[in-house]
């Protein structure tokens, strides 16, 4: 065989059917009994062979289709199908925008004609139709509608939509983003934290390429003291998380409701006075992502709060939330119970950083405080220097 000619043969079947012998580029001949050639390079694959193998595994984007394998052809077909669907959807969205713009132009023309002709009934009709179609709604209108919906429900929003022209519930759902948070029913458990971290935090940070430092924050907000029935879970909510283990919140029979009512009346279980909320915030962003909402009866001690803080950090690290960014700090409000829990968790490991707080918690998580409460504590001293 001439030197440099391409030649290959299958190895013996008893060795491996998937192994090929590739002669050296300096090969001059090959024997009839398939022995090695006179100038072999055993065990050392040639650079041309490696190049062909790499080209077969990872073909370049400009590679001709005739040189691609079946798997790569399937990937290309799938990519083109996805691109076609995206372009089709973009075309539908653009056509809808064009039609909406043309409709607005027609409304403006009719409005100008009604004003020029001083046709008051026609003017009222044009404005009412525009309001019903969701036009002319600004951020303040959506905020008012959201407040009405949260305080009075969909029926009050429906009434004010027809009487005052506020955005309807459909317009509100279309133009606003609502965060769905799983409430704490019963004791605080891992499943509730995991579900909220996945649905609130991870879904809003899909496809991120740059990590941000994360700070967990805990505080309490006002809560109406009442027991409510969550039909989705068929459970009674609104009871304090610390003592909810004393009852079964599932309403199986009438006796279940009577038992819960007796426990509340006897003081064994309490209605939540406030709502303990833990939220996650990324440094460099303005959004806050709540991951826990638990009713509290305000009887927790430092040990209870230490368990809540440690559980929140544990679930953050256990889920894929660490892909969003590492925990840098845990901020608390002015509550002395949470201060004691924070000092025990986050002021125990020395860290070599002169001039700053040299004590951190596990994973170098530092203790932080809400500036509002710091200002509240220092404000009396600024008014009266004698208090120093």
How many Å apart are CA 186 and CA 238, to the nearest integer?
A: 9
For the segment 135-154, the average pLDDT, to the nearest whole number, is 81
> Residues 192, 314: contact at Cβ < 8 Å?
no
Question: What are the CA-CA distances from residue 12 to residues 19, 29, 36, 44, 84 (Å)?
Answer: 9, 19, 13, 20, 48
Closest CA to 183 of 275, 294, 276, 289: 294
- The backbone torsions φ and ψ at residue 268, rounded to the nearest 5 degrees and listed phi first, read -75, -35
How many Å apart are CA 329 and CA 238, to the nearest integer?
A: 30
Strand pairing of 274-282 and 289-296?
A: antiparallel
H-helix or E-strand containing 309?
helix 302-318
CB-based burial of residue 336 (10 Å sphere; 0-12 exposed, 13-18 middle, 19+ buried)?
exposed
How many Å apart are CA 29 and CA 331, to the nearest integer?
A: 78
pLDDT digits (tens, 9 = 90+) for 313-367: 999 888 866 678 888 889 888 788 888 898 888 888 887 666 666 788 888 888 8
How many Å apart are CA 279 and CA 290, to the nearest integer?
A: 4
322 vs 249: which has the higher pLDDT: 249
pLDDT digits (tens, 9 = 90+) for 5-48: 333 333 333 444 445 555 555 565 555 566 655 544 444 455 66
How many Å apart are CA 223 and CA 237, to the nearest integer?
A: 12
């Amino acid at each position: 065989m001439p030197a440099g000619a391409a030649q290959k043969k299958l190895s013996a079947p008893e060795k491996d059917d998937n192994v090929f012998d590739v002669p050296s580029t300096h090969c001059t001949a090959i024997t009839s009994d398939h022995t090695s050639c006179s100038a072999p390079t055993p065990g050392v694959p040639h650079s041309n062979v490696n190049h062909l193998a790499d080209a077969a595994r990872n073909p370049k984007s400009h590679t001709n289709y005739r040189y691609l394998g079946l798997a790569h052809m399937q990937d290309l077909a799938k990519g083109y199908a996805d691109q076609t669907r995206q372009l089709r959807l973009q075309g539908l969205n653009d056509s809808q925008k064009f039609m909406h713009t043309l409709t607005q132009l027609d409304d403006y023309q009719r409005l100008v004609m009604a004003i020029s002709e001083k046709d008051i009934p026609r003017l009222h009709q044009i404005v009412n139709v525009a309001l019903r179609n969701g036009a002319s709604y600004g951020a303040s209108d959506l905020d008012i509608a959201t407040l009405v919906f949260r305080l009075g429900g969909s029926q009050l929003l429906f009434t004010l939509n027809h009487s005052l022209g506020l955005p309807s519930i459909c317009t509100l759902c279309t133009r606003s983003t609502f965060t769905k948070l799983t409430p704490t029913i019963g004791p605080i458990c891992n499943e509730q934290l995991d579900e909220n971290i996945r649905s609130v935090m991870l879904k809003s940070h899909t496809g991120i390429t740059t990590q941000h430092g994360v700070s967990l924050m805990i505080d309490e907000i006002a809560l109406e003291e009442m027991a409510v029935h969550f039909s989705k879970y068929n459970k009674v909510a609104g009871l304090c998380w610390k003592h909810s283990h004393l009852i079964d919140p599932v309403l199986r029979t009438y006796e279940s409701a009577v038992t819960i009512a007796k426990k509340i009346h006897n003081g064994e279980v309490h209605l939540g006075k406030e709502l303990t909320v833990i939220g996650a915030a990324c440094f460099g962003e303005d959004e806050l992502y709540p991951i826990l909402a638990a009713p509290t009866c305000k009887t927790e001690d430092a040990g209870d709060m230490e368990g809540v803080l440690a559980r929140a950090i544990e679930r953050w690290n256990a889920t894929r939330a660490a892909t969003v960014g590492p925990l840098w700090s845990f901020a608390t409000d002015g509550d002395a119970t949470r201060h004691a829990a924070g000092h025990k968790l986050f002021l125990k490991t020395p860290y070599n950083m002169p001039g700053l707080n040299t004590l951190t918690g596990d994973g170098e998580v530092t203790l932080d405080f809400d500036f509002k409460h710091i200002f509240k504590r220092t404000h009396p001293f600024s008014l009266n220097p004698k208090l120093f």
